[in-house]
Amino acid sequence: MNLKRLTIYGFGHFHDRTFDLSPGLNFLVGPNEAGKSTLTQFITAIFFGFPTKKHPELRYEPLDGSRFGGAITFQQDDTTYTVTRTDGPKGGTVTLHDDTTNLDLPAELLTKLLAPVDGQLFTRVYAINEPRLGTVFTASKQELVDRLRHVGAVGSEYWLQQAQRLDQAADDRYKPQGRNPLLNQQLREHQELSAKLEKANGAYQTYWQLRQQQVDGERQQQVLQTTLTQQRQATTRLTQLLAQWPTYQQWVALAPAAEAVSHGFTATDATRLEQLRSAATASEQTLADDQQRFAELQRDQQLPPLFDQYLPIADKVDALTQRLPQVQGSQQEAQRLGTSQRDLEQRAGILEQQYAVNGQMPRPFSLAITQQVRQLAGELTTANQKRRRLQQQLNQRNEQFRQVQPTRQQHNNPLADKQVGWLAAGLVVLVGAMFLPNTFLKLAGALLGVAVGYYGVFLVDSSTPASRQLDELTEDIRDLQAQLREGGQAVDALTTQLDTIGDAHGMSQIPLEQWSAAQSAIAEWERLTRLLETTAEQAATQQATVRQFLQEATTILPDLTDQDLAAVASQLTQLQATRQALSHQETDVAALASRLQADQAAVERGKRELQAFLRTRNLTDVAAFYQQYQADRTQTERQQQRHTLVTQIGADNLTALKQQISRAALQQQVTTAQQNQATTQATLDQTTSHLATLQGQLTHLTASGTQATLRQKLADLETQMTQTAATWLTERLVSQWISAALAAASGDRLPQIVAQASEFYGKLTENRYTKIELTPTTLRVQRATGEWRNVGQLSRGTAEQLDLAVTLGFAVVMNRQVQMPLIIDDGFVNFDEARRQAAYRLLATIAMDVQVILLTADESVTTHTTGKVLRLTE
């Protein structure tokens, strides 16, 4: 099997990630917390199921709330499959797809594709990490042997555990030299019982007769003792009941009992009630008289309709009237704030219509951004002006070039012909000098010819004024074009920077020349928005003040309900003015108004006190109080008497006395109980004396135990021994059969695994250890010097290398039957650098046959060109 692709929907901190793997060696490199252990658990979970929610630390549910699960694409037997597992019951919801034929397969087929590997074998052998490698260091010798047998025979772990359990159980039953095992103890006990039985056989008949008499006597003695104890208790109880019979008769005379006495109905409470009633009645009568008098005077004086309601609560109404100016000011302020609020909303709406995009106002620039925009805008203006100036110059040069460019008749250059003539003359002089007789003359002639040619070629100017002007214009045009390109690039760069700032602040829809005005408008809009929020809060506060005032006014004067503040203010002012006018008049109305107010307060106070008195006692009227008061007095007296009598009698004795018919019947019961007790005591004394005699005789005969008891014990013991021996033999034979079966099942592969592991161990340890040997009782390794060492004598890193070698040996040998990839999660942290590199080389060799996925934080693996390198942090 080769894993081709890991697709993670959501697992741990990974989400929407894909890792493409190659068939051979794969390096997944990342620092700590990059997700190496997460990927190992992801592969295990997708193949074998998510752990239950009882183990949340192993589920790796996504941290960002994305979809939990993923998919693995793998190739097996020339067929490509994709298994997908997402969150769901029983380890997750699984789907299996055949990518080769594009068919959906039953999810149950996944187990058959992975067989015989299950989740436990996969995590133990194929998913390697440092803690699992470390178990070889702490394991006992027998555990190492069983583990290698498990590796050699797939699925044998359960049977190894059963064999160990059976061996332990057999040892607990019997050991040849043991003392504590069950069968050893039973053998010693059998020997002791046999000796005692031989001694007891002689006096068997006499012993049996005495023993039967003793059993009968003990049974009779036990019955008599129980009977005597019961009789003593009954006599004592009946005597006590007889003594308490007169008190019980008094208790009966006070029956039946009534309900419990209620609190709050004493004589003091009754006196207090009468005082409250008298005070309330007097206050009500005074108020009625004064109200009748006031009604007559009100008709005569023509007072306002609310005035009779006002007088009893004048203090509350006056308090509201004093607050009236403040509340009227709050109403005026609320109206002013409402007008201001509408004006602010209108002004802010105008700005939003001008500059808002999709209902969103642009964001204001900071001081630094403002300065940057101003600088970039200035540079852009300068750059554009420079481009226009250069373009004008270029147009002028192009026009001049077009005018100066020579026609076809002007292409012949006479001066160029003159240069050819001078050159020809120089050559003639040079050739002629070669024929002069004197060497000096030849040299002089040659120099003269060279000078003539040089003059003609280099000193005589072959160009014309028109050609020189064309060259200058061409050079100027090229220079101007280069400057225009540079200017265009500068303009593009400045425009890009300004566009970036505009996009970041929502200004992309506004022309650059309007940015300054837009920023001022944005600042004004933000100021208006803040002011609008403040105004709305202030208006709500003022309106709440007005509403609260109106609510208080209608509470104390219900006739003012549904009236606005102006009407309420008018009514309150009129009431207060009327009262003030009356207070300055020496009339009966003024005096009566003051008296009515005092009367009303007294009546309300009396009612409150009376209602409070009755309410604390759960009553509604005074008659109920006196009824309960009288009943409580009578019941209290009877309860006190009955309680005193019950204390004297006792609760249990009272129950027993209720069951008696009369005093004479109770006296007869006491007499009968005393006679029965005396008779039973005499019989018990005789029986006890006879048992003492029998015990002496039996002690003499049975110093070593009775014959029947010893025979029964011996027979029971022999039965137990037979069962123990049979169980021991069964457990020992089954354990040996399991060991033999596992040895046969793994016999052809275990030597191959050990040999392959020895080869790998030599490579991992740089041939310091060359051989691994597995014996029936121990596991040891051989050094290159020939010395043997047990696992407990190895360092942690060397022991982990031993476990790695065994695991790799299993993977290679079993590859034909069990084709699974090897996943190594930072398993080499305890290896030194040389052995770590040796491990990398070994993995590269193994990867030719078995896919290897190494997750590591070691950056040096990137130097291995034989494997595919993936970065977890990309």
Burial level of 225, CB count in 10 A (0-12/13-18/19+)? middle
How large is the angle between the packed helices 245-253 and 204-243, nearest 10 degrees? Answer: 50
Distance CA 334, CA 331 (A): 5
User: Distance from CA of residue 287 to its chain's centroid?
Assistant: 72
Q: Does residue 144 carry a pLDDT above 70? A: no
> What are the phi and psi torsion angles at 360 (to 5°)?
-120, 120
Q: Which of 35, 2, 3 is nearest to 17 (CA)?
A: 35
Q: Does residue 106 carry a pLDDT above 90? A: yes
Q: What is the pLDDT of residues 474-488, one digit of tens each?
A: 888 888 888 888 888
Q: What is the mean pLDDT of residues 715-736?
A: 82
pLDDT at 79 (0 to 100): 93
Q: Is the peptide bond before 23 cis (omega within 30 degrees of 0)?
A: no
State both tokens at 225. Answer: 């003792």
pLDDT at 159 (0 to 100): 65
Q: Which of 289, 293, 478 is nearest to 397 (CA)?
A: 478
Neighbour tally for 71: CB within 10 Å: 18
Low-confidence winner among 195-204, 350-359, 447-456 (lowest mean pLDDT): 195-204
How far is residue 60 from each of residues 40, 42, 53, 63, 856, measured CA to CA in Å?
A: 11, 8, 10, 8, 19
* 830 vs 631, higher pLDDT: 830
Beta bridge partners of 825: 129, 855
Q: What is the mean pLDDT of residues 285-303?
A: 64
Spatial contact of 614 and 272, defined as CB atoms under 8 Å apart: no
Q: Does residue 202 carry a pLDDT above 60? A: no
Distance CA 145, CA 779 (A): 7
Distance CA 468, CA 458 (A): 16
pLDDT at 45 (0 to 100): 92
Low-confidence winner among 24-33, 239-248, 449-458, 842-851 (lowest mean pLDDT): 449-458
* 650-677 per-residue burial string, b: 16 or more CB within 10 A, e: under 16: eeebbebbeeeeeeeebeebbeebeebb
Q: Does residue 218 carry a pLDDT above 50? A: yes
Contacts 24+ apart (CB under 8 A), 694-702: 694/210, 694/213, 694/214, 694/217, 695/214, 697/210, 698/207, 698/210, 698/211, 698/214, 701/203, 701/206, 701/207, 701/210, 702/200, 702/203, 702/207
In this structure, what DSSP letter does residue 360 have? B
SS3 state at 558:
helix
* 762 vs 636, higher pLDDT: 762
Most confident of 145-159, 223-237, 414-428: 223-237
Q: What is the pLDDT of residues 662-677, one digit of tens each?
A: 888 888 888 898 888 8
Distance CA 495, CA 292 (A): 95
Q: Which amino acid is at 756?
A: Q
pLDDT at 812 (0 to 100): 85
Spatial contact of 854 and 12, defined as CB atoms under 8 Å apart: no
* 570-604 per-residue burial string, b: 16 or more CB within 10 A, e: under 16: ebbeebbebbeebeeeeeebbebbebbbebbebbe
pLDDT at 178 (0 to 100): 75
Q: What is the DSSP string of 812-840?
A: HHGGGT----EEEESTTTTS-HHHHHHHH
Q: Does residue 443 carry a pLDDT above 60? A: yes
Q: Does residue 628 carry a pLDDT above 80? A: no
Distance CA 94, CA 865 (A): 37
Distance CA 521, CA 354 (A): 9
Spatial contact of 673 and 231, defined as CB atoms under 8 Å apart: yes
Distance CA 483, CA 472 (A): 17
Q: Which of 636, 19, 741 is nearest to 267 (CA)?
A: 636
- Rg for the chain, CA atoms, rounded: 60
Distance CA 370, CA 368 (A): 5
* 362-389 per-residue burial string, b: 16 or more CB within 10 A, e: under 16: bebbeeeeeeebeebbebbeebeebbee
CA angle 272, 277, 280 (to 5 degrees): 125
Sign of CA dihedral 599, 601, 604, 607: negative
pLDDT averaged over every residue in the chain: 79
Q: What is the mean pLDDT of residues 421-430?
A: 74
Give CA torsion, residues 121, 124, 125, 129, to 10 deg: 150
Spatial contact of 223 and 711, defined as CB atoms under 8 Å apart: no
Spatial contact of 13 and 31, defined as CB atoms under 8 Å apart: no
Distance CA 731, CA 739 (A): 12
Sheet with 769-774, strands from edge to edge, namely 769-774, 779-783, 788-790
Distance CA 700, CA 206 (A): 11
Sheet with 69-76, strands from edge to edge, namely 14-20, 2-11, 69-76, 79-86, 93-98, 103-105
Q: What is the mean pLDDT of residues 500-524?
A: 82
Place 22 in a pLDDT band, splitting at 50, 70 and 90: very high
How large is the angle between the packed helices 204-243 and 707-746, nearest 10 degrees? Answer: 100
Burial level of 26, CB count in 10 A (0-12/13-18/19+)? buried
Q: Does residue 412 carry a pLDDT above 80? A: no
Q: Which residue has the tokens 């239950």?
A: 52
Q: What is the pLDDT of residues 392-402, one digit of tens each?
A: 888 888 888 88
Non-local (6+) Cβ contacts of 294 within 8 A are 308, 311, 589, 592, 593, 596
How many residues are recorded in the chain?
874
Place 522 in a pLDDT band, splitting at 50, 70 and 90: confident
Q: What is the DSSP string of 321-347?
A: HHHHHHHHHHHHHHHHHHHHHHHHHHH
pLDDT at 93 (0 to 100): 93
Place 141 in a pLDDT band, splitting at 50, 70 and 90: very low
Q: What is the DSSP string of 636-689?
A: HHHHHHHHHHHHHH-HHHHHHHHT---HHHHHHHHHHHHHHHHHHHHHHHHHHH
Q: What is the DSSP string of 509-548?
A: TS-GGGHHHHHHHHHHHHHHHHHHHHHHHHHHHHHHHHHH
- Max CA pair span of the chain: 197
In this structure, what DSSP letter does residue 564 have? -
* 263 vs 534, higher pLDDT: 534
Q: What is the mean pLDDT of residues 10-18?
A: 90
> What are the phi and psi torsion angles at 334 (to 5°)?
-65, -40
SS3 state at 493:
helix
Q: Which of 598, 596, 599, 591 is nearest to 283 (CA)?
A: 599
Q: What is the pLDDT of residues 26-60, one digit of tens each?
A: 989 988 888 888 999 999 999 999 888 777 777 88
Distance CA 119, CA 126 (A): 10
